[in-house]
Structure 1
Amino acid sequence: MGNEVPQLTQRTDGTKDNQYESDDTEHGYCHFTRGDIKQIKRYTEEILQHERSTIQVKSDGTVIITPHPRQLPNEILARIIHHIDETTQPAYILFGSRHPDQQRDLHACTLVNRQFYALANPLLWQELEFHDTIHLQRLLDGLAASEQSLGNHVRKIQLNNVACTDAQLLLLMTHVRHLETLSLENVNFTNDFPPITNTSLQHLPRYCSQLTSLKLFNIGLSDATIRAIGQHCRRLCQLTLCGYLSDDGLATLASCPLQRLQLFHEDIENMLTEKMVMDMIRFQDLTHLDLSLFEPSSLIMTISNNKITTGVPWPHLKYLSLDLCYDIDDATLICFIKTHPHLQEIRLKEARALTDASLAAMAVSLCDLRRCIFEMMNGISSRGARQWIQNCQRLKRVQFRQCRQIKATDILETLDDDNSDYLCLDEHDIAKIRSG
């Protein structure tokens, strides 16, 4: 109908009956007389069913029907917008971030009408990612000028020091008090891009106490910052730290319901102490444990094995990744996996003392094992690996990296053995091995 208003207009031309005309271009021209009351009623009902309309009768007898744009039910609009927001993302998009095309589509939805705006705008603000300080400063200026508290919609932010300074981070956190996921990284250390430091980070937990996931890369946490996280972030389930952490750091996080813990250094090895492991054991809800460049890795298993009499540490553990495992032997690993039967993914690097006995124990004890990465495990053989694959019924993906005794054609004849230092078996390869 556009913006035209269909009207039933009364005319008198000297005849006995009053006459009515309709200029509704969609329903066609209609001419009624007073004797056509039923037809007028049917026409009116048709208009009302087609559009949400109002009827006005003027003093001179003119009847005006004004249609209003029919609103779709919010449930239908929500499905449309949800489809846009949940579109499959390319593999190169990290941290589950929304693809730029999705952001543009959501922005387009906000321009349709008020109903679309009300549903799409909060989603548009949910995830923010910046690549330079200019765009971040524009956001800060907009948040400061906004009367609608748009920052309350923000749930996820990804930043680095190229896009954010300490001063900007301090200002940003005051506007995003419902933030749930934050990823910060120092990627450049120059005079133009100074690093993000504890100057701002120590205030983050107080303003953003609803955090459930915190990832910090190349940022060393001070004692004051880690204490503030433990004090204020009582919903923190996922913590990733790449940088310095003091020996007492994990103890201050005892009140956080951590489920995923990832600690690593990129360039230097770090000592894993008995106190750090004992503090990790307090996180009984832990499902993912990832330690890189921490030694001795055996402490994770030996201390856990010694605690079995008082209750199994990490009874829900599904993912385990350890570097520098050269001090872990078969007996230690076998004892550990027997008490952690829910393991689905294992990554072990430099476990030089492990043999086929460990693989055989995995096949027996870990019925839900799905994925494994073994790197520089020189004690396992091709024959042992093949038998292990045949016996692990739920295994879907395996990688052998620089494992000296592993030869691709000994595991599956159809495999190419040109690159013996790296062997990746997918679900299709594993099915062939089981049927062979």
Structure 2
Amino acid sequence: MTRLGRLPNEIILLILRGFTRQELYECALVNRSFHSVTTPLLWATITLVTKDHAAILDDHLPLLGQYVRSFDVMGSYATDDTLLYFLEQIPLLQHLSLFSGSRITDISILLVPCYCRHLTSLYLVNTNGITQLSFEAIGQHCRHLRNFGLQEQAQGSSSSLSPSLFAALECCPLEKLSLGYFHDDTNWACLEKGMADLSRMSDLTHFALWNAPPSFVHCLLTTVRWPKLTQLAINGLPGVDLDEYAVNNDSVNIDCFGEFLQAHPHLSGLDLRGSKITYHLLSIISACLPELTNINLSHCTSVSYDGVYELVTRCPCLTSVHLMFCGLSSGMFPNLLDTQLDNEFQLNKKAINEIAGKSPAYDDYDEDDVDTQIRGKHWSAMFGTLR
């Protein structure tokens, strides 16, 4: 015990790395050194859900608020006054998330930049009392904000999104942006009008879009070009039409999606869960994204074995393919983890290498010819020759 008391805090911190919250509580009782190191870890993230949570925070934040870096507010208990009361006691807050904050309005959000001068991440879910006034205040004063998420503006809510939303956030050095699950099509239409402003967010490396209508997806794919983009998620991507000029209410044309991928060759992560994925689309992905390392195709019921085979044999950097609930049998793929089930599995690096190594057709591709065709516009014709 004496030797433990002499350990430097840096060594104790290394020992505690990866410990669960319960294990940290136990370590806090070892001695004063362990207690001083574990306390900031235990209070780095706090959650407010009910009145009981508020009472606990009220007792401890005056002394421990300096350690809080992440604050999650969930449910309808919190009001503007409650939020501001606790934010005042968290001077170094970096991450703020509001989930279903139906009683949170502009009254408190307008003051967030004043209370949270170190804010780098803001996530708003179903916070219908927040209007463009708050977004403009955030854009003007949260100069460290790098991660912003906005989801689930309910239909018939008291406020709707403005076409100027993206323009208001342009002054923030945003690197990660997440949008989606808006129940009112008016919100999507408003955001579509601000697509030119969205395209000017040139520092974006991560972008996620959830359940957007085809018209918005089409506008996004044809308008924006982000040179630093490495991670893209489009949940529920509409079907990709093989007609070069097709643009309708149910699909996004294949040229549109292909040219977007071609303009973002540094994409290493792609999440298309719940989308209509065909062999042709996977061929486009494998041809355009040489640096792709992981792709999520979970709940993509139109995925075929041939499409997955094309993907893993043509993407040299690929290390993970998520195929949960795609209707494919894990028996088709070798070397899966023992814990994976028939309809809930992923291809790991070992399985991918095994499949790629057994590909007799891989050496038959003329890579120079493929590269030439990739630069062309007729995607459907190109992938007809590759098949």
User: TM-score band, normalised by the shorter chain?
Assistant: 0.7 to 0.9
Residue number among 219, 238, 251 corresponding to 2:167 in the alignment: 251
Q: Report if aligned partners of 1:106, 1:123 keep a CA contact under 8 Å in 2.
A: no
* Cα distance in 2, alignment partners of residues 129 and 107 from structure 1: 20
Considering Cα pairs closer than 8 Å and 6+ residues apart, tell me whether 1 or 2 has the greater RCO: 2
1:398 paired residue number: 321
Using the size of structure 2 for normalisation, the TM-score is 0.72
CA displacement, residues 75-130 of structure 1 (integer Å, 9 cap, x when unaligned) = x222213432x2155xxxxxxxxx3432x146436xx33x6555554444332224
Matches within 5 A, 1:162-241: 164-186=78-100, 195-220=103-128, 221-241=130-150
Matches within 5 A, 1:87-236: 87=18, 99-102=21-24, 104-105=25-26, 107-108=28-29, 112-113=31-32, 119-144=37-62, 150-161=64-75, 164-186=78-100, 195-220=103-128, 221-236=130-145
* Cα distance in 2, alignment partners of residues 266 and 361 from structure 1: 29
Q: Report if aligned partners of 2:297, 2:323 keep a CA contact under 8 Å in 1.
A: yes
* Cα distance in 2, alignment partners of residues 350 and 80 from structure 1: 44
1:328 paired residue number: 252
Q: Report if aligned partners of 1:402, 1:422 keep a CA contact under 8 Å in 2.
A: yes
Greater mean deviation of Cα atoms: 126-135 or 239-248: 126-135
Matches within 5 A, 1:349-364: 352=276, 355-364=278-287
Deviation at 1:410, TM superposition (A): 10
More strand by share: 1
Identity of aligned residues (%): 27
Deviation at 1:207, TM superposition (A): 1.1
Residue number among 6, 9, 13 corresponding to 1:81 in the alignment: 13
Higher alpha-carbon Rg? 1
* Cα distance in 2, alignment partners of residues 409 and 101 from structure 1: 36
Deviation at 1:226, TM superposition (A): 0.9
Matches within 5 A, 1:65-80: 72=6, 76-80=8-12
1:300 equivalent to 2:213? Answer no
Give 5+ residue unaligned stretches, structure 1: 3-50, 52-68, 90-98, 188-193, 305-312
* Cα distance in 1, alignment partners of residues 38 and 132 from structure 2: 41
Q: CA 1:224/1:100 → structure 2, altered by over 3 Å: closer, same or farther?
A: farther
Using the size of structure 1 for normalisation, the TM-score is 0.65
Deviation at 1:209, TM superposition (A): 2.3
Greater mean deviation of Cα atoms: 118-127 or 227-236: 118-127
* Cα distance in 2, alignment partners of residues 409 and 185 from structure 1: 36
Q: Report if aligned partners of 2:330, 2:345 keep a CA contact under 8 Å in 1.
A: no
1:389 equivalent to 2:312? Answer yes
Deviation at 1:135, TM superposition (A): 3.2
1:316 equivalent to 2:250? Answer no
Q: CA 1:338/1:128 → structure 2, altered by over 3 Å: closer, same or farther?
A: same
* Cα distance in 1, alignment partners of residues 28 and 110 from structure 2: 34
SS of 1:261's equivalent in the other structure is strand
Deviation at 1:202, TM superposition (A): 2.5
Q: CA 1:125/1:414 → structure 2, altered by over 3 Å: closer, same or farther?
A: closer
Deviation at 1:236, TM superposition (A): 0.6
Q: CA 1:268/1:395 → structure 2, altered by over 3 Å: closer, same or farther?
A: farther
Deviation at 1:424, TM superposition (A): 4.3
**Counterpart amino acid of residue 433 in structure 1:** I
CA displacement, residues 296-318 of structure 1 (integer Å, 9 cap, x when unaligned) = 211111113xxxxxxxx211111
* Cα distance in 2, alignment partners of residues 332 and 173 from structure 1: 45
2:378 paired residue number: none
**Counterpart amino acid of residue 246 in structure 1:** S
Q: CA 1:411/1:280 → structure 2, altered by over 3 Å: closer, same or farther?
A: farther
* Cα distance in 2, alignment partners of residues 138 and 379 from structure 1: 49
Q: Report if aligned partners of 1:237, 1:256 keep a CA contact under 8 Å in 2.
A: yes
Q: CA 1:143/1:392 → structure 2, altered by over 3 Å: closer, same or farther?
A: closer
**Counterpart amino acid of residue 259 in structure 2:** C
* Cα distance in 1, alignment partners of residues 36 and 328 from structure 2: 59
**Counterpart amino acid of residue 257 in structure 1:** P
CA displacement, residues 193-227 of structure 1 (integer Å, 9 cap, x when unaligned) = x6333332222222112110111221133112111
Residue number among 285, 290, 293 corresponding to 1:370 in the alignment: 293
* Cα distance in 2, alignment partners of residues 377 and 195 from structure 1: 37
* Cα distance in 2, alignment partners of residues 211 and 131 from structure 1: 21
Q: Report if aligned partners of 1:161, 1:195 keep a CA contact under 8 Å in 2.
A: no
RMSD: 3.6
Q: CA 1:125/1:240 → structure 2, altered by over 3 Å: closer, same or farther?
A: same
**Counterpart amino acid of residue 210 in structure 1:** H
Q: Report if aligned partners of 1:81, 1:106 keep a CA contact under 8 Å in 2.
A: no
CA displacement, residues 320-339 of structure 1 (integer Å, 9 cap, x when unaligned) = 12234333222122211122
* Cα distance in 2, alignment partners of residues 420 and 139 from structure 1: 45
Deviation at 1:420, TM superposition (A): 9.3
SS of 1:278's equivalent in the other structure is helix
SS of 2:252's equivalent in the other structure is coil
